[in-house]
Homo-oligomer: A and B are copies of this chain.
Amino acid sequence: MRKSPKQQRSQKMVDALIEATGRAIAEHGLAHASTNHIAVLAGVSVGSLYQYFDSKGALLEALLDRLSRDLAGLIDQRIDSLLDADVRSTVHGLLSAVFAFMQKDEGLYLELARNWHQLHSMRVVDVLERHMFEVCRLYLLRHLNQFRIANPHAVLFVIINSTLMTLIRYLSQPNSHLRKDEIIDCLSDMLAAYMQSLNEAPVKA
């Protein structure tokens, strides 16, 4: 970012541009979301756009960062009430919250998720993965006596990404015949069963 937004006005402009970027991608796909179009959607000139962002790439980065931060914040909001619950309830609660989140802002995030494959989207997953690692660490600390995990790094990687990536896959499909609560239920069940099994028959690796 060229300028640190010192004034309210600047911050608003930055926000408007990021949101416009999201909206432009949602409408036209990444390839046809031009800087001019973004500027129009944001209600400013292209020149102004370049006063706050070095390049189109910087705009995209900022959008993905905001998306990551928003999703991470969402998790943090619920974390306290979820850390005490059992695995199934925790996963269930988190996924429900994510789904709810995706539908706000007039479906902007949903539309973005549908254009997921066009975004340099792994950045968001990276951030979320790191965040979820931390959440999981906290969760496991609280339930220390319940779980004995031989290879926590790999297990957490599989758990977190199975959930996130299946969610992305589900959201990427424009017309699925599956309801979101069916997906949430199955994912919750799967993770609960896996966590349960880890105690009974420890992982070999």
Contact = CB atoms under 8 A, between A and B. Distances in A.
A183 B165 contact: no
Interface in A110-166: 116-122, 125, 151, 153-155, 157-159, 161-166
Chain A at the B interface: SS class: helix
A190 B189 CA distance: 11
B158 A166 contact: yes
Given A119-B117, A120-B118, A121-B117, A193 B197 contact: yes
A203 B187 CA distance: 11
Given A186-B203, A194-B194, A168 B165 contact: yes
A87 to B, nearest CB: 12
Given A118-B120, A161-B170, A166-B158, A189 B181 contact: no
Interface string A178-193: 1001110111011111
Interface residues of A, number: 45
A177 B153 contact: yes
A100 interface: no
Contacts of A122: 116-117, 169, 172
Contacts of A165: 161-162, 165-166, 168-169
A154 B178 contact: yes
Nearest to A153: B178
Minimum-distance CB pairs A-B, first 3: A165-B165, A193-B197, A162-B162
B194 A190 contact: yes
A204 interface: yes
A191 B193 CA distance: 9
Contact of A169 (B116, B125, B181, B194): B125
A88 to B, nearest CB: 10
Contacts of A159: 190
A118 B29 CA distance: 12
A189 B165 CA distance: 18
A197 B189 contact: yes
A136 B14 CA distance: 48
